[in-house]
């Protein structure tokens, strides 16, 4: 029987296992709340999903870089999220995040400048082919309009694309598949959203 040093690959594998054993699981996204004393707009979220699919509306702490996601609300096919207050008068970046039962996800991000006293609706849909979402000005429930100032934010090398001069559009913004990268957190699953839906 030969004795001696362990192969390099075995040492590397053991080190990786040791690190994995010490790793702390990531925490779900913190809930969003408008800063105390700020002017606000009302934020609603609605999603067209089926079966065990769930969806959430996120607000980012840093609207320019799309960092610091906070959960404004989560819903499913039978229960929409509750309304929340959104800080008005400063740039906001929102995300419609749809998570399928198989834990694949799709998202649409957009930025806009909310006005105090208005009501905004994030209306999204998730299906087998992907997802889409629109930001609507729902201040007048009898005349809901697309919020034309909304600009889609795509991910480029893990960061949000830069804001550009806006081209108003009434079309729903297409989503991006979120596989292997941060959704709510680096290992978020449908279960992370599911637990946030209260009976």
Q: What are phi and psi of 58, to 5 degrees?
A: -110, 150
Q: Alpha carbon of 56 to those of 29, 75, 140, 150, 162: distances in Å?
A: 11, 6, 24, 18, 24
pLDDT one-digit tens code per residue, 129-145: 889 999 999 999 999 99
Give the CA-trace dihedral at 47, 117, 149, 59, to 10 degrees.
-50
Provide the whole-model pTM.
0.73
For 124-183, what is each residue's pLDDT tens digit? 999 888 899 999 999 999 999 999 889 988 877 777 888 776 554 555 556 555 543 333
* Token couple for 184: 């709510």
CA distance 107 to 145: 22
Cα dihedral angle (124, 129, 130, 136), rounded to 10 degrees? Answer: -30
Nearest to 126 by CA among 195, 172, 93: 172
């Amino acid at each position: 029987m030969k004795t001696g040093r362990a192969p390099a690959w075995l040492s590397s594998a053991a080190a990786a296992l040791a690190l994995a054993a010490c790793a702390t699981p990531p925490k779900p996204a913190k809930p969003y709340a408008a800063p105390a004393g700020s002017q606000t707009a009302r934020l609603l979220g609605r999603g067209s999903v089926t079966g065990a699919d769930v969806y959430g509306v996120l607000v980012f702490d840093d609207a320019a870089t799309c960092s610091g996601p906070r959960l404004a609300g989560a819903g499913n096919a039978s229960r929409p999220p509750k309304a929340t207050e959104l800080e008005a008068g400063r740039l906001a970046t929102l995300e419609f995040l749809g998570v399928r039962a198989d834990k694949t996800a799709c998202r649409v991000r957009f930025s806009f400048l909310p006005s105090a006293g208005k009501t905004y609706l994030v209306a999204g849909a998730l299906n087998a082919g992907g997802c889409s979402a629109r930001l609507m000005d729902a201040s007048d429930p009898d005349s809901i309009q697309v919020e034309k100032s909304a600009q889609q934010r795509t991910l480029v090398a893990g960061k949000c694309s830069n804001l550009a001069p806006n081209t108003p559009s009434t079309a729903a913004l297409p989503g991006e598949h979120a596989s292997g990268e941060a959704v709510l957190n680096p290992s978020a699953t449908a279960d992370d959203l599911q637990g946030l839906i209260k009976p």
